[in-house]
Chains A and B, each alone.
Chain A
Amino acid sequence: MSWPFLLWTMYKDSRPPGPIQTRATRLMGVTSAGNPQVLTADIVGLPMPTIAKLYIKRMRAGDSLAAQQLFRRINAHSPDPFVEIRIETSMYRLTDSGVVLGENPVLTFRADSSHLN
Chain B
Amino acid sequence: VQRWIDGWNAYWFPSTSTLALSICRIVVVAVHVVWFIPAFASLPEQIYLLEKNSDFVNPQLIISAISAAVPRAAFFTPDVFTVLHGATLIAGILALVGLFTRVSLLLLTLGTWILIAHKYSYGDQHHPEALLAIFLLLLACAPSGQRLSLDALIRRRVLSNGATGLPNRLETAMWPLRLTHVLLALTYFSTGMSKLIEGGLEWMNGYTLQSYTFQDAVNRKLELGLWLAQHHELAIALSIFTILFETFFFVSLLVPRIAPLFFVTGVFFHLGLFATGGHPFFPHIVLLLLLLFFLDPQWWRSRVNKYLGAYHPSWRRQVGLQRY
The chain A residues found within 8 Å of chain B, CB to CB, are 2-18, 20-22, 24, 41-42, 44-50, 53-54, 73, 76-77, 92, 94, 98-99
Q: Are B219 and A45 in contact (CB under 8 A)?
A: no
Question: Cβ of B127 and Cβ of A14 under 8 Å apart?
Answer: no
- In the complex, what distance in Å separates the CA atom of A15 from the CA atom of B210? 9
6 CB contacts below 8 A, A to B, read A4-B129, A5-B130, A12-B197, A14-B205, A50-B122, A99-B226
CB distance from B75 to the nearest CB of A (A): 18
8 Å CB contact of B123 from A10, A15, A54: A54
In the docked arrangement, what's the CA distance between A10 and B198, Å?
11
Which residues of chain A are near B113, meaning CB under 8 Å?
4
Chain A residue with the shortest CB-CB distance to B59: A2
Number of B residues, CB within 8 Å of A: 50
Question: Which DSSP category, helix, strand, loop or mixed, fits chain B's interface?
Answer: helix
Contact call B191/A14, Cβ cutoff below 8 A: no
**Cα–Cα distance between A20 and B218 once the two chains are bound (Å):** 12
Closest to A74 in B: B52
Chain B neighbourhood of A5, CB < 8 A: 130
Q: Which of B116, B134, B199, B229 contacts A14 (CB 8 A)?
A: B199
Tell me if B134 and A4 are in contact (CB < 8 A). Answer: yes
- Interchain CB contact under 8 A, A14 and B122: no
Please determine whether A3 and B130 come into contact, CB atoms closer than 8 angstroms: yes
* Interfacial residues, chain B to chain A (CB-CB below 8 A): 44-45, 48-49, 51-53, 57, 60-62, 113, 116-117, 120, 122-125, 127, 129-131, 133-134, 187-188, 190-191, 194-195, 197-200, 202-203, 205, 207-208, 210-212, 214-215, 218-219, 226, 229-230
> Which of A8, A14, A45 has a CB less than 8 Å from the CB of B51?
A45
Q: Which residues of B contact A17 (CB under 8 A)?
A: 205, 207
Q: Say whether A2 contacts B61, CB under 8 Å.
A: yes
Q: How far does the alpha carbon of A29 sit from the alpha carbon of B112 in the complex, in Å?
A: 34
Identify A20's interface contact among B62, B134, B203, B207, CB under 8 A: B207
